[in-house]
A and B are shown apart, each in its own frame.
Chain A
Amino acid sequence: MPRITVTVDGIKYEEDVEPRLLLVHLLRERLGKTGTPVGCDTSNCGACTVMLDGKSVKSCSVLAVQADGCDVLTIEGLGVNGSMHPMQQAFHEEHALQCGFCTPGMVMAAIDLLREDPDPSEETIRHGLEGNLCRCTGYCNIVRAVRRGAQEMGQAVRTP
């Protein structure tokens, strides 16, 4: 069984993994990072989005062995000292969720799109979130939250 080294939310882990183990299952079942849900299992919904070496990926579509030596950031690694990340706070303030299942992936994808454009327009946000599906909100509040989160992050100068 291959042994991999992977850093998740700042902590380094060494794990023996079956080659077929998906990154999302490593996170959830081995490391207890259940903040990252499995949504569709067909790479469509984006609920399982995490950062892999600083770029958003769908963790159901990455093998754990492919993440060997890499740095993973999940929704659980965003907050500092128990306080929410500005993007999480913005989702809360703007009521950008109902059931909340898509939210971890939405927040990660939203933070990712700010790498390219720290002050995105509504259109940029909608394109940036193309890979993330929400079945509750109709997206309007999510787009508002990302705008707000971007502004807060700009002020706070704190990016993950």
Chain B
Amino acid sequence: MIPAQFDYVRPESLSEASQVLASDEDAKVLAGGQSLLPLLRLRLAYPSTLVDVGRLPELKGVHDRGDHVFIGAMATHDEVMRSDVVRAGCPLVAMAAAHVADPAIRHRGTFGGSLAHADPAGDLPAVVLALDGVFVARSAQGEREIPAAEFFVDYWESSLGPGEILAGVKIPKLGEGWGFQYEKFHRTAQAWAIVGVAAAVKRSNGAITEARIGLTNMGPTPLRARATETALQGMELGDQLRQACEEAAADTSPPADLHAQPDYRRHLARVLTHRAVRTAAGAP
């Protein structure tokens, strides 16, 4: 379908963009457009104005900042998955970015756009949550940092305020001893995850000393599998891993849709968590 009419502005700076957004509550940010354009075409969204931030240089690129990697909001998935800085500093992000949609969509779709869209079925929110990323938002009032745990509010709703634009995300580097895995279960190659699991696992002298697990599409926001994270602490690799991963669906509220009922999603979360943790922990 042809989208409904809207105005279009391409601001020269981030501050100009946030002024437009602050002055019109029906204006929407246009990044790569790979989530927004389908919504416009299906007439599920009727913005008054699209504020195209896709070319703003201040939002571009991936930067090594010592203790963290700063991923500019307009870095494309393709850039992120190929970036040496990302692969070295936060490999889980590169791994998950390679799972987003398909190559043509990864050429246009952006890291920040995907996260600000706050779709709990998206691959990146659970990963940034698992890695305790910090969202950097800019507005006329200045810069605000939002921890990942506070960024996702509900289905397709983030804690960005009116006039606030996501500038980028800080992903802390985890250092030595960590392993990573993103497991995605989907019906077709380019489809959203029915369930996805992001795992970062640290081992020392054979035992797991810390585990961080993010769940995709197990509720209105990405979630951490806290019970499993706690149960894994101090555990050696072996059959008991499965036991710990049985808790992966605790405190989740997975949706029911065409592809899966909640009980099936809970089952998937347990199975995929076990797979992701095993791989991340380097189990044979």
Contact = CB atoms under 8 A, between A and B. Distances in A.
Interface of A: 2, 18-20, 22, 25, 41-44, 46, 49, 52, 55-58, 60-63, 65-66, 109, 112-113, 127-128, 130-132
A56 B4 CA distance: 26
A131 B54 contact: no
Contact of A131 (B40, B78, B103): B103
Chain A facing B: main interface SS: mixed
Contacts of A65: 8, 10, 52
Nearest to B41: A41
Interface string B76-112: 0010000000000000000000000111110110000
14 contacts: A20-B2, A22-B2, A22-B37, A42-B38, A42-B42, A61-B108, A62-B37, A63-B30, A63-B33, A65-B10, A66-B52, A130-B189, A131-B105, A131-B190
Interface residues of B, number: 30
Contact of A62 (B2, B8, B103, B108): B108
B108 A57 contact: yes
B7 interface: yes
B107 A57 contact: yes
Contacts of B4: 20
Contact of B104 (A19, A42, A131): A131
Interface in B15-48: 30, 33-34, 37-38, 40-42
B156 interface: no
Contacts of B6: 19-20
A60 B41 contact: yes
B104 A49 contact: yes
Nearest to B102: A131
